[in-house]
Amino acid sequence: MSKAKIATCWLDGCSGCHMSLLDLDETLIQVARKADIVFGPLVDAQEFPEGVDVALVEGAVSSYDDQRLLQTIRRRSQVLVALGDCAVTGNVSSMRNGIPVKKLLERIYVQGAAEAQAVPSDGVPGLLKQAGPLHETVKVDLHIPGCPPKPDAIGFAVLELLEGRKPDMASKVKFG
Ligand code: SF4
């Protein structure tokens, strides 16, 4: 029997949700028996593949690059999971939303820089006016809140999804 395909992705987040994913410990072995990880910071693939069964996405949508990647993930994935509070609500990533983008970039790259004081125009993803949760850009099938979510909540959700069931997260998660 062929294994399912899992992808993980890191948009505007701190990687803490991926650290929590790694903390699954022995549950990782159960997951590995049922699925291969085909994309994400933990593997070397450069392009998000077709035919993903479960995509776990950390972080808010903050840039045009985030937006494009998330739309690709949605098109190519059966189940899309918002992993952690930044993906679920915007959380820490959306704290910049009260500041206009131009002012924010000038504060960082001009006033805050000791040298080469200029807002870069090359190689830096263009920021959206507001950072927001995944569901404002695409349909999300499951939310796993937490900052970061607890490993047992992630493990429960992934194993249930791999069995073809929609996980009942009520007893596993809380916001904040
Ligand atoms: S939810 Fe918390 S741990 Fe996860 S990316 Fe956001 S700030 Fe980091």
Question: Mean pLDDT of successive 10-residue segments in the chain (176 residues)?
Answer: 93 97 92 96 92 98 97 98 98 96 94 91 91 98 96 96 92 69
- Ligand 1 pocket residue status of 134, Cβ below 6 Å: no
pLDDT at residue 175 in the model: 59
Q: What are phi and psi of 7, to 5 degrees?
A: -125, 145
Q: Is the pTM of this model over 0.85?
A: yes
Dump strand ranges (E) for 61-164.
61-63, 77-83, 127-132, 142-144
pLDDT at residue 171 in the model: 79
Instruction: For residue 20, give the ligand 1 atom closest to its CA.
Output: 3
pLDDT at residue 89 in the model: 97
pLDDT at residue 64 in the model: 97
- Give every CB contact of residue 64 below 8 A, 6+ residues apart in sequence: 125, 126, 128
pLDDT at residue 6 in the model: 97
- Ligand 1 pocket residue status of 12, Cβ below 6 Å: no
Distance 6 CA to ligand 1 centre (A): 20
Q: Which domains does the chain have, with CATH numbers?
A: 4-96+126-162 (3.40.50.700)
- Ligand 1 pocket residue status of 145, Cβ below 6 Å: no
pLDDT at residue 140 in the model: 98
Q: How far are the Cα atoms of 10, 11, 49, 115 from residue 46, in angstroms, in the given order?
A: 13, 15, 9, 33
- Ligand 1 pocket residue status of 14, Cβ below 6 Å: yes
Distance 45 CA to ligand 1 centre (A): 23
- Ligand 1 pocket residue status of 92, Cβ below 6 Å: yes
**Rounded Cα–Cα distance for residues 55 and 34 (Å):** 15
